[in-house]
Amino acid sequence: MSFSTFGLSDEIIRAVTERGYTVPTPIQTQAIPAVLAGGDLLAGAQTGTGKTAGFTLPILHRLSDKSVKGPSSGRPPIRALILVPTRELAAQVEESVRDYGKYLKLSSMIMIGGVNINPQITRLKSRVDILVATPGRLLDHVQQKTLSLAHIEILVLDEADRMLDMGFIRDIKKILALLPKQRQNLLFSATFSDEIQALADNLLNKPVMIEVARRNATADKVTHVVHPVDRERKKELLAHLIKQHRWSQVLVFTRTKHGANKLAEFLLANSIPALAIHGNKSQSARTQALAKFKAGDLQVLVATDIAARGIDISELPHVVNFELPNVAEDYVHRIGRTGRAGSEGDAVSLVCVDENKLLTAIEKLIKREIPSQVIAGFEPDPRIKAEPIKNGRGGEPRGATHSRNPPKNQTNNKKPATKKPAGAGFARPATHHFAEPRRAGGRGR
């Protein structure tokens, strides 16, 4: 199987080849023909599977293939809208759109909050074919009448589950109401809760449902390990592991923003270059830290779950859970950063006595026991008793990046973020790479 079998244009094939892709990933093999055929699509796919190219390549082909619709004179209208939950993911997706479309005459734009709206207003005055946006800022533009969605032909809801988790359902509904009735809809989601199902039932018309195979190519190449350690010695153990294994590019997850800052400071004090990214950092600080990390100029990036969403670093070798996530699903999202698209990686979790319940919930979700290995010199003290997990003032509930300190001009009408307890959602576990494939969605289910 190669990309040329899909009938994509030569310009697209050239860009893909230059990017170094030779074989389409399973999601691409199924999604590309489905999107090219023009119908709706419901795909169960997570970041790391190659889903972005799975929808971007056929969208580029369709938009460049057809003559431009809409007003016959003046600036052509925006024809494709890709809605994503976070700014980081928006940047990632828009970069892919530009890269895969670099030999085409199509033009794309990113529209996110946390940055000045005026350059976006200016940009909208020139041609935009494909818009990649987060919902809040998009609605700001609608309110200011600087954006028309009246000619959208293709809508993508990327990481729809995460958008709902972040409380964007009302915004999504408002946006859907602004789109023309006749259009192609593509919904990508890693999990299929009842809420996602309801959204899919409402949005999609006889969708092709992609049965995503387990993500063998990537997930099975990820080595999972738990290092039991005392709560107060985690920092020390992390520095030890980084130094001992000479890890050069490590993404570390903490539960809170405050914890992320403290850890980055500790690592720096121990001569390990580290920066923290989270919702309280400005967008430019986040972008800069990420760029340095991606370029290999920063050894450790410490991140909270929300801030790390959408981070795509190819072949990221090490992901460390400095603290286990409160929501078991986030473990899967976190380790989705490593072993991407066929490369190998490891996911290391530093687990103290307080976190045993969280670990059990994760193992139940991923349907496997994670091997445990005590590091010599860091043996847990059996006298230490479990304490309730503090999420601290720096805790970052879902949606915090958008709702806590909403930037000016950003609508703040999300419903309060709902936080599921760890283990919630196990009733429908077959939504992860590790689980048996389930028919992605399905009406009336």
47 versus 249: smaller Cβ distance to ligand AMP: 47
Contact at 8 Å (CB) between 316 and 291?
Answer: no
Q: For residue 429, how far is the Cα from the chain centroid?
A: 19
Contact at 8 Å (CB) between 411 and 349?
Answer: no
47 versus 184: smaller Cβ distance to ligand AMP: 47
CA distance 101 to 195: 34
Cβ of residue 187: shortest distance to ligand AMP, in angstroms?
Answer: 15
Residue 385's identity, in one-letter code, is: K
In sequence order, what are the beta bridge partners of 209? 42
23 versus 269: smaller Cβ distance to ligand AMP: 23
2 versus 118: smaller Cβ distance to ligand AMP: 2
CA distance 201 to 179: 17
Q: What are phi and psi of 345, to 5 degrees?
A: -165, 170
Q: Are strands 108-111 and 318-321 parallel, antiparallel or unpaired?
A: unpaired
The helix/strand/coil state of 246 is coil
CA distance 422 to 326: 5
Cβ of residue 313: shortest distance to ligand AMP, in angstroms?
Answer: 8
Q: Which residues contribute to the site for ligand AMP (CB under 6 A)?
A: 21, 23-25, 28, 47-53, 312, 314, 340-341
Cβ of residue 51: shortest distance to ligand AMP, in angstroms?
Answer: 5
Alpha-helix runs per DSSP H in 130-233: 135-143, 160-165, 169-177, 194-203, 216-219
84 versus 362: smaller Cβ distance to ligand AMP: 84
Cβ of residue 413: shortest distance to ligand AMP, in angstroms?
Answer: 29
CA distance 137 to 84: 11
Cβ of residue 314: shortest distance to ligand AMP, in angstroms?
Answer: 4
CA distance 188 to 333: 14
Cβ of residue 312: shortest distance to ligand AMP, in angstroms?
Answer: 5
29 versus 410: smaller Cβ distance to ligand AMP: 29
49 versus 256: smaller Cβ distance to ligand AMP: 49
Query: Token pair for residue 306?
Result: 């929300």
Cβ of residue 66: shortest distance to ligand AMP, in angstroms?
Answer: 24
